[in-house]
């Protein structure tokens, strides 16, 4: 196996994991609340900075992760209960713009708190590298990231399909009014959707920081770059979020490896346009989605 | 795009105007007769304010303030263009930066050609903007709401990429020639401001006329509820396309002015955060109002510097002063984000909406006193 | 124009399950939904609420279920559930107290399967599913509700409602869009439910004849007010339809 192919594989899986995490958060929020969130990158940034602050202070990997998750869950909860609960019933146009405002506010506050330089994590994961076959090597970090993403997806999908809570979330996503009529606490479910959405974004942000040392802006931009993946998979499909994330990562890595890295963004967004024009519901999205 | 029936959004200021005019005339304002008079009053007021501010900018302002003013004027034009598309025709667009880039690069490139006599570069930039706007508009016919917004997001990145490639290895960027009309060179900031003021006035007067007539009503209907408008016989396709073409042209003109203002043009300023800034200008100032767009441009352009200037006043507690110094840019961004949220939650009409409410309240109080 | 209100003979089983007095609803735009509505619903009865579109029938149901309190609407007057004042109760509280509302539109979850629907609301009291079971449901458990016919959806909606252990069932426009034979089957099932379990039902209907066939008592509404009330036995469907519903034969 050529080194390029090896890098392509590991790069796709790692970046794919990161993109999928942000995508699934978006999809959960969109399905449950019909809100299109441009703020996923901001929650990623918030999670990333929190993790950085904790680990720089000496906190271990797992504890830092748990605390970051809690902070992100709280952030999502507060955001909904303070801001977006007042926008229930507003047109999608308005809520989307509101997420832009939210993202701007969060990013600015994060940078004020932690600075605008590149975010550097101390070593929290062993730097060990495993040689698989030929030139295919994976690092512990990459394994960690991919496994985390898989675990999270498994949890989300199981929760949605197998638990009473998941059923209620599906009900709220399907018909919010009727859900209220049958006694489902729609506010609680919506809050949960927001909390989970920002939590997955936060994990995605942490994963991103584990692979590189980005500027806050780059982390924030993750929330935008993820749109081609979301559209590709289907706006309202959880499984699609995973597939879309991996596919987009694959295409991006193809461009980086075999063409020119500067073409990465334009290819991603060109793909987005293609999906919009040819098949707006993506690979796995439902047909109603295209009639938004 | 149908509006939630509980939230009258931009409808409220209009209703407020009606309120004043149809009731008995208060002693203060001479509002009598048909609805138009109160709006006319506002227009005259606007003209007076414009002349006063223009005079200040041209003759009274310091060099720094003149520089500030030039940026404000450029973005006021851009915001008005954005408002046309978003506020009047109700189409979401994140493409403002892309259209400005088109205008800026076109002007920077063309203005150096000998055949490109001023104001040709501006006109040609507008044309290019219109063409691109037409393309986006055509794709926008198939896409609605969210999908349209995403396609403009894609547009942003694609144009930014193209601009970067076009600029190529030219690190310093393209230089725009100094505009000159006859022998009169707009060489100084002061003279550029004169140019900008004239362009802004032309845009406002021109669009104002258009908004007052059938096109304005058509767009208002489409903004209210596209499906209902179609049923009522409005040629939605035509008007949507026209809105795209026109607004893109105007934003491209803003880009063209920017090229003259900055003298050198690179792809760097035309990023997604610029598009968001312009969006914020429109919302904070007041969606669906040219005055709002201008107010928004003033606020967004001037706030960071104003924050920074506070540091000079804050002597005691040098901690605060240096904090402001470091963070004034982000603080401004945080304020925009917060303001945007506040506008969307409490007062969709933005600052203009607030002012209108204030006006209605004042008139009502005056009338009550009169009756008492 | 309104008939003098006649109070029907109460079955006299103690206090009514629901009582409203002076219930008035005004919407944000000034429109009046209900005006001074006072009624009482005893145990084990089916009450039909008739009237034309906009008469206030749905407003009445929604006001009782608590849904109007949360939507910037002014509600005045008293609502008592089993003697307990529930003036400012939220929809969730009302639901916990046993008020189950079956809406006119969007009464099932199109994307969920039939078994999902039943799982969602849990199991009701032991005997109630028998009182309102529909044979076809067993065979269609894995079908998505969006694929069901109108009648099947209505039946599913009622099956769901019953499983929520209602103390009071509010049904809005059951017959809309359904064939008469299906309506008859549904109405019969409702009567059986009340007879067996004692759960009172308030039935908002445009099809006066169908409703009167199973109802014990009738309220007719017009412009937010109760303009006629009486025992269904004393009520002529044709006359009501002609006078208050604008239906001419």
Which residues face A139 on adjacent strands? A129
For residue C101, the SS3 value is strand
Q: 3-class secondary structure for A104-172?
A: HHHHHHHHHHHCCCCCCCCCCCCCCEEECCCCCEEEHHHHHHHHHHHHHHHHHHHHHHHCHHHHHHHHH
Q: What is the mean pLDDT of residues C69-91?
A: 78
Whether the predicted pLDDT of C128 surpasses 70: no
- Interchain contact, C109 vs A167, CB within 8 Å: no
A116: phi then psi, degrees, rounded to nearest 5: -110, 10
Q: Which residues of A fall within a CB distance of 8 Å from B334?
A: 104-105, 108-109, 112
pLDDT score at B62: 86
Q: Between B17 and B334, where is the model more confident?
A: B334
pLDDT at site C168: 92
Query: Domain limits at A68?
Result: 17-223
Question: Would C153 be classed as within a structural domain?
Answer: no
Q: What does the pLDDT look like over B112-147, one tens digit per residue?
A: 888 888 888 999 999 999 999 999 988 877 777 788
Question: Is A11 within the bounds of a domain?
Answer: no
Domain count, chain A: 1
Residue C112 touches chain A, beta carbons under 8 Å: yes
Contact state of A171 with C112 under an 8 Å Cβ cutoff: yes
Q: Which domain holds residue C221?
A: 18-108+166-244
Q: How far is CA B6 from the centre of its chain?
A: 27
Per-residue CA distances from A212 to B21, B22, B307 (Å) = 63, 65, 34
Closest to B250 in 3D by CA, of B111, B88, B10, B49: B88
Taking the C-alpha atoms of residue C232 and residue B235, their distance in angstroms, rounded to an integer, is: 54
The answer to whether residue C142 sits within a structural domain is no
Helix (H) or strand (E) holding A241: helix A238-258
Please report whether residue C113 resides in a domain.
no
> Does B153 sit within 8 Å of A227, measured CB to CB?
yes
pLDDT number for residue A193: 95
Most confident range, picked from B76-80, B237-241, C181-185: B76-80
Q: How far is CA A199 from CA A66, A160, A210, in A?
A: 10, 16, 17
C126 assigned to some structural domain: no
**Predicted local distance difference test score (pLDDT) of residue B22:** 35
Residue in A closest to C62 by C-alpha: A181
Q: What are B280-298's pLDDT values in tens digits?
A: 999 999 998 999 999 999 9
Examine residue A213 and state whether it is found in any structural domain, yes or no: yes
Q: Are B141 and B256 in contact (CB under 8 A)?
A: no
Q: Residue C74 — pLDDT band, cuts 50, 70, 90?
A: confident
Q: Identify which of B165, B159, B198, B177 has the alpha carbon closest to the alpha carbon of residue B120.
A: B177
pLDDT in tens, C200-216: 999 998 888 888 889 99
Residue B89 carries which DSSP code? S
Angle between helix B189-212 and B63-83 (nearest 10): 20
Tell me if C119 and A167 make a contact (CB, 8 A cut-off). Answer: yes
Chain A, residues 270-289, CB within 8 A of chain C, namely: 286
Task: Determine the residue of chain B that is closest to A261 in CA distance.
Answer: B161
First-to-final CA distance of chain C: 21
Selected residue of B87, B162, B345 to mutate for chain A interface (largest A Cβ count, 10 A): B345
pLDDT in tens, chain A (292 residues): 788 888 889 999 999 999 999 999 999 999 999 899 999 999 999 999 999 999 999 888 999 999 999 999 999 999 999 999 999 888 888 999 999 999 999 999 999 999 889 999 988 888 888 888 777 888 999 999 999 999 999 999 999 989 999 999 999 999 988 999 998 999 999 999 999 999 999 999 999 999 999 999 999 999 999 999 999 999 889 999 999 999 999 999 999 888 888 888 899 999 999 998 888 888 998 866 554 4
- By C-alpha distance, the chain A residue nearest C67 is A181
pLDDT value for C56: 83
CA separation, residue A36 to residues A33, A196, B315, C119, C217 (Å): 9, 15, 44, 30, 49
C92/A181 CB distance under 8 A: no
Distance CA(B261)–CA(A189), nearest Å, equals: 51
- Which of B220, B209, B219, B223 lies closest to B239 in space, CA to CA? B219
User: Are C120 and A185 in contact (CB < 8 Å)?
Assistant: no
**A63-72, B177-186, B355-364: the lowest-pLDDT one:** B177-186
Whether B14 has a pLDDT exceeding 50, the answer reads no
The whole-angstrom separation of Cα B126 and Cα B110 is: 13
Backbone φ, ψ for residue B210 (5° rounding): -65, -45
From the list C92, C108, C112, the residue facing A185 with the nearest CB is C92
Asked whether residue A200 is domain-assigned, the answer is yes
CA dihedral angle for residue A16, residue A18, residue A24, residue A30, rounded to 10 degrees = -110
Which chain A residue lies closest to B152 (C-alpha atoms)?
A273
Q: Of the segments B9-18, B165-174, C42-51, C239-248, which one has the largest average pLDDT value?
A: C42-51
Q: Is residue A189 part of a domain?
A: yes
**What is the per-residue pLDDT for C123?**
57
- pLDDT class of C55 with cuts at 50, 70, 90: confident
Residue for token pair 């006193």: B369
Domains of chain B are 11-371 (1.10.3470)
Integer-rounded Cα Rg, in Å, for chain A is 19
Residues of chain A contacting B144 with CB distance shorter than 8 Å = 291-292
Query: Are B125 and B113 in contact, with CB atoms under 8 Å apart?
Result: no
Whether residue C56 is contained in a domain is answered as: yes
User: Which of A86, A88, A175 has the highest number of chain C CBs within 10 A, making it the mutation to test binding with C?
Assistant: A175
Q: What's the rounded mean pLDDT across residues B82-93? A: 90
Whether A187 is covered by a domain: the verdict is yes
| A178–C106 C-beta distance less than 8 A | yes
Nearest residue of A to residue B147 by CA position? A276
The answer to whether residues C175 and C213 touch, using CB atoms and an 8 Å cutoff, is: no
Q: Rounded CA gap, B60 and B68, in Å?
A: 13
Q: How confident is the model at residue B155 (pLDDT cuts 50, 70, 90)?
A: very high
Domain count, chain C: 1
Q: Which residue of B has its CA nearest to A274?
A: B151
Closest residue in A to C110 (Cα–Cα):
A174
B286 secondary structure, DSSP code: -
Q: Which of A182, A185, A236, A288 is most worth mutating to test chain C (most C CB atoms within 10 A of its CB)? A: A182
Interface membership of A101 toward B (CB under 8 Å): yes
Give the largest Cα separation in chain B, rounded.
75
Contact residues, chain B to chain A, C-beta under 8 Å: 1-4, 6-7, 90, 92, 139, 142-147, 149-151, 153-154, 157-158, 160-161, 164, 272, 276, 279-280, 283, 327, 330-331, 333-334, 336-341, 344-345, 348
Asked if residue C133 has pLDDT above 70, the reply is: no
Residues in A touching B151 (Cβ below 8 Å): 272-273, 276
Name the residue among A92, A96, A97 with its Cβ closest to that of B283.
Answer: A97
Give percent helix, percent strand, percent coil of chain A, each to the nearest 5.
75, 0, 20
- Distance to chain A for B290, nearest Cα, Å: 20
C217 touching A (Cβ < 8 Å): no
Cβ contacts of B142 on chain A, cutoff 8 Å: 277
Six token digits for residue A46: 């918030």
pLDDT, position B359:
85
- Residue pair C146/C117 in contact (Cβ under 8 Å)? The answer is no
- Alpha-carbon distance C107 to C15, whole Å? 31
Instruction: Give the end-to-end CA distance of chain B in Å, rounded to a whole number.
Output: 45
| Contact at CB, A292 and B145, closer than 8 angstroms | yes
Helices and strands, counts by H and E, chain B: 14, 4
- Domain harbouring C179, CATH code: 3.40.50.300
B171 alpha carbon, distance to own chain's centre: 30
Write the DSSP string, C159-183: HHHHTT--SEEEEE-TTTT--HHHH
**C105 and chain A: CB distance < 8 Å anywhere?**
no
Among partner residues A93, A105, A276, which is closest to B341 by beta-carbon distance? A105
pLDDT at C1 over 50: no
Q: Alpha-carbon distance A189 to C18, whole Å?
A: 30
Q: What is the pLDDT of chain C when averaged over all its residues?
A: 81
| pLDDT exceeds 60 at position B20 | no
pLDDT of res. B350: 92
* Average pLDDT, integer, range B315-335: 80
Work out the pLDDT band at C31, boundaries 50, 70, 90: confident
Structural domain includes residue C73: yes
Whether the pLDDT of residue C249 is over 60: the answer is no
Q: Which helix (H) or strand (E) holds A65?
A: helix A61-82
For range C151-168, the mean pLDDT? 90
The separation between the first and the last C-alpha atoms of chain A, rounded to the nearest angstrom, is 45
> Considering the domain boundaries, does residue A69 fall inside one?
yes
The answer to whether the complex's ipTM is over 0.85 is yes
For B4, which of A89, A269, A272 is closest by C-beta distance? A89
pLDDT of residue C68: 75
Nearest residue on chain B to A101, alpha-carbon basis: B337
C-alpha C115/C-alpha C100 separation (Å) is: 20
């Amino acid at each position: 196996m050529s080194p390029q192919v090896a890098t392509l594989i590991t790069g796709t899986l790692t970046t794919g994991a990161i993109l999928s995490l942000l995508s699934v958060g978006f999809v959960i929020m969109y399905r449950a609340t019909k809100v299109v969130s441009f703020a996923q990158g901001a929650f990623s940034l918030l999670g990333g900075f929190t993790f950085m602050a904790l680990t720089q202070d000496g906190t271990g990997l797992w504890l830092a992760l748990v605390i970051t998750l809690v902070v992100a869950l709280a952030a999502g909860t507060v955001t909904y209960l303070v801001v977006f609960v007042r926008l229930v019933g507003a047109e999608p146009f308005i809520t989307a713009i509101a997420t832009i405002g939210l993202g701007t506010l969060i990013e600015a506050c994060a940078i004020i708190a932690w600075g605008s330089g590149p975010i550097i994590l101390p070593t929290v994961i062993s730097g060990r590298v495993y040689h698989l076959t030929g030139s295919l090597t994976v690092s512990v970090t990459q394994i960690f990231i991919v496994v985390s993403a898989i675990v999270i997806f498994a949890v989300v999908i199981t929760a949605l399909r197998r638990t009473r809570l998941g059923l209620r979330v599906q009900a709220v996503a399907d018909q919010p009014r009727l859900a209220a009529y049958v006694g489902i606490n729609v506010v609680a479910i919506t809050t949960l959707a927001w909390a989970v959405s920002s939590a997955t974004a936060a994990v995605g942000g942490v994963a991103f920081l584990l692979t590189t040392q980005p500027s806050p802006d780059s982390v924030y931009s993750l929330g935008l770059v993820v749109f081609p993946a979301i559209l590709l998979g289907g706006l309202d499909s959880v499984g699609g979020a995973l597939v879309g994330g991996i596919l987009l990562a694959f295409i991006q890595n193809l461009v980086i490896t075999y063409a020119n890295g500067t073409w990465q963004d334009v290819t991603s967004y060109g793909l987005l346009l293609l999906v919009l024009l040819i098949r707006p519901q993506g690979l796995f999205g439902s047909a109603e989605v295209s009639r938004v | 795009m149908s509006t939630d029936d509980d939230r009258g959004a931009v409808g409220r200021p209009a209703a407020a105007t009606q309120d004043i005019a149809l009731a008995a005339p208060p002693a203060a304002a001479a509002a009598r007769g048909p609805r138009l008079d109160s709006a006319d009053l506002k227009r005259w007021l606007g003209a007076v304010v414009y002349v006063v501010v223009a005079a200040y900018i041209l003759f009274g302002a310091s060099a720094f303030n003149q520089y500030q003013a030039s940026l404000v004027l450029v973005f006021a034009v851009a915001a008005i263009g954005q408002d046309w598309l978003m506020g009047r025709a109700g189409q979401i667009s994140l493409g403002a930066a892309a259209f400005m880039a088109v205008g800026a690069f076109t002007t920077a490139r063309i203005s150096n050609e000998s055949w490109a006599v001023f104001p040709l570069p501006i006109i040609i930039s507008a044309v290019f903007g219109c063409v691109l706007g037409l393309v986006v508009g055509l794709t926008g016919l198939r896409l609605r709401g969210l999908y349209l917004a995403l396609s403009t997001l894609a547009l942003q990145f694609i144009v930014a990429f193209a601009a970067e490639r076009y600029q190529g290895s030219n690190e310093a960027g393209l230089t725009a020639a100094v505009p000159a009309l006859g022998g009169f060179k707009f060489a100084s900031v002061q003279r550029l401001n004169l140019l900008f003021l004239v362009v802004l006035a032309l845009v406002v007067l021109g669009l104002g006329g258009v908004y007052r007539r059938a096109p304005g009503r058509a767009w208002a209907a489409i903004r209210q509820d596209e499906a209902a408008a179609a049923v009522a016989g409005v040629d939605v396709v035509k008007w949507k396309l026209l809105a795209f073409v026109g607004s893109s042209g105007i934003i491209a003109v803003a880009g063209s002015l920017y090229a003259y203002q900055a003298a050198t043009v690179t792809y760097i300023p035309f990023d997604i955060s610029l598009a968001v800034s312009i969006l914020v200008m429109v919302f904070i100032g007041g969606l669906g109002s040219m005055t709002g767009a201008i107010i928004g441009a003033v606020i967004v352009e001037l706030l960071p510097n104003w924050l920074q200037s506070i540091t000079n006043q804050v002597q005691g507690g040098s901690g605060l002063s240096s904090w402001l110094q470091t963070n004034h840019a982000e603080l401004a961004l945080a304020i925009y984000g917060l303001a945007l949220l506040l506008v969307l939650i409490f007062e969709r009409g933005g600052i203009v909406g607030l002012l209108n409410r204030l006006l209605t309240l004042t008139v009502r109080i005056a009338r009550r006193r009169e009756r008492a | 124009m309104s008939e003098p209100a006649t109070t029907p003979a109460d079955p006299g089983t103690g206090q009514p399950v629901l009582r409203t007095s002076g219930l008035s609803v005004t919407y944000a735009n000034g429109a009046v939904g209900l005006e001074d509505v006072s009624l009482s619903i005893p145990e084990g009865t089916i009450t039909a609420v008739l009237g034309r579109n906009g008469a206030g029938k749905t407003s009445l149901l929604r006001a009782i279920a608590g849904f109007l309190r949360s939507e910037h609407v002014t509600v005045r007057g008293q609502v008592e559930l089993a003697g307990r004042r529930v003036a400012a109760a939220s929809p969730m509280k009302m639901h916990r107290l046993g008020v189950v509302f079956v809406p006119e539109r969007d009464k099932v979850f199109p994307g969920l399967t039939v078994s999902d629907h039943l799982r969602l609301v849990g199991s009701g009291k032991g005997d109630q599913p028998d009182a309102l079971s529909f044979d076809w449901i067993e065979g269609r458990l894995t079908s998505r509700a969006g694929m069901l016919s109108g009648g099947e959806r209505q039946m599913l909606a009622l099956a769901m409602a019953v499983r929520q252990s209602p103390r009071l069932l509010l049904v809005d426009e059951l017959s809309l869009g359904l064939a008469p034979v299906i309506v008859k089957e549904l109405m019969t099932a409702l009567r059986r439910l009340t007879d067996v379990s004692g759960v009172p039902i308030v039935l908002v209907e445009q099809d006066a004849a169908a409703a009167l066939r199973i109802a014990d008592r009738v309220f007719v509404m017009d412009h937010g007010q109760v303009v006629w009330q009486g025992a269904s036995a004393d009520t002529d469907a044709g006359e009501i339809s002609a006078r208050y519903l604008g239906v001419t034969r």
